[in-house]
A and B are shown apart, each in its own frame.
Chain A
Amino acid sequence: MNDPASVLGNLFTLIFVPLMLLMPLLVVLFVRTRDATPAAHALIRARTIVLLLATLTAVTLWFGSFLLSRQYPLGGVLPWVARMGWMMFFPLWFVLATPILRAKTGMADESGFRPSDSVRIAGLVNRARKSPLRRSHWWMFALAAIAGLAAISARALGAPFENDGLQRAWLMQLAGYASQVLLIAAILPWVLRRMLLEPEPLDAAGNPDLAQMYDSLRDAKILGLFWMLGIAMPLVFATAFSVMCWTGIGEYAAWIGAIGGSCIGIAGAGFGVVMGMRRMRIAEFKRDLDRQARANSSGPS
């Protein structure tokens, strides 16, 4: 119980999991309500109470699993629930917190449009050409993938396998890693291209600050996702598979995979929250610009 992996795992569980579970509620409480009718206020309050109860339930479930898992591991189920409890962040954020945030900021959806926005304005810049990723980024991805393949493949050259079972396991690990990397290579460019084309509605005057905010957010999102999925994830996979095939101890690899994967997941969730808030700020800025334009056009001429 006192080996470094257990200590690290417990620390991770005790710090990061509750942080993740509390984050949606904290963000909702942090964002202030704008231009809401009394009915909308009541709805926001009711939904916030639901979020609060769901958060308390999630934290209780996680903490209960954590405490009980120390006495009754139940075949590893309870420790797993305690370790992976942070995944309850996703329903808390996407199902409960996001509708409250939309209601608070008056947004209809992530595009920033509301049903009342009848006039829509789009730029003519082809954003498919504005990716912040250069050829060097893809070389880094290729290097990370090849380094992992080399580390796993080298096991066959390093020392002879003690039996056929170990050799078969090594082959499975090599195939497993290669398929993960190929999957990322197939999906990542497509996902990043779709991000370039996400809605970026403009204001009537073509405010340069708005365009600059869109550029900055788009670049941050694409680079962030690239580093997480294109570099960090292959490296975590490579480390876990390499440790497994070189030491033959699956538990170490499981810990590396669990902690590394969870860190990427948590970083991804945190990143998503920050990007979502930046997107909302841009939507608010655009609404202010639209409001000003309406006031100017209806004012005395």
Chain B
Amino acid sequence: MIVVSLSSQVPLHDQIVAELRRLLASGKLVAGDELPPVRQLANDLGINLNTVARAYRELTDAGLLASARGRGTVVLSTTERPSGRPAVERKRIEVSVAAALADAKIAGMSLADTRTLIERQLAKLWNQTYINA
């Protein structure tokens, strides 16, 4: 399922991209899966067609989705096409993680709560394999 919030500060197409990336990362979407047509998703979410089309285009540009003749939009890969050198990619992700952790601290979350939250997300995405790593 894709969930978006109309009252969020985050633009709708970014929310759709984030939701689809979450589904790809958690394995709920795998290579070859068909996505709903743009019109269907836009109708179901009650939003503009172009918003969904833009989100699909962004993920297509990242190498995650592809348009297949007769099948609409399908998942091409669950691994993103690197947009820069590995060190640059790593830095970009580190900045995102740092921003999320700063948000958690500013929101008043304790270290223990933040750690639990991170562990829950890691468990979701890596199927708990990180515990043994």
Interface of A toward B, CB cutoff 8 Å: 111, 113, 117-129, 196-202, 204, 206
Contacts and interface: CB of A to CB of B under 8 A. Distances in A.
A206 B44 CA distance: 13
Given A126-B36, A126-B37, A127-B36, A201 B72 contact: no
B36 A120 contact: no
Contacts of A126: 34-37, 40, 72
Nearest to A119: B5
Contacts of B34: 126, 129
A118 B3 contact: no
A123 B33 CA distance: 13
Contacts of B46: 111, 113, 117, 120, 199, 201
A202 B3 CA distance: 10
B18 interface: no
B1 A119 contact: no
Nearest to B33: A124
Contact of B36 (A113, A117, A124): A124
Interface in B31-68: 33-37, 39-41, 43-47
B33 to A, nearest CB: 8
B95 interface: no
A123 B39 contact: no
7 contacts: A119-B5, A120-B6, A120-B47, A122-B44, A123-B1, A127-B40, A197-B39
Nearest to A112: B46
Interface string B92-127: 000000000000000000000000000000000000
Interface residues of B, number: 23
A122 B45 contact: yes
A293 B69 CA distance: 40
B9 interface: no
Contacts of B129: none
Given A123-B36, A124-B36, A129-B34, A199 B44 contact: yes
Contact of A119 (B3, B35, B36, B43): B3
A10 B106 CA distance: 79
Contacts of A123: 1-2, 36, 44
B2 A121 contact: yes
A25 B23 CA distance: 47
B25 interface: no
Contact of B41 (A119, A122, A198, A206): A122
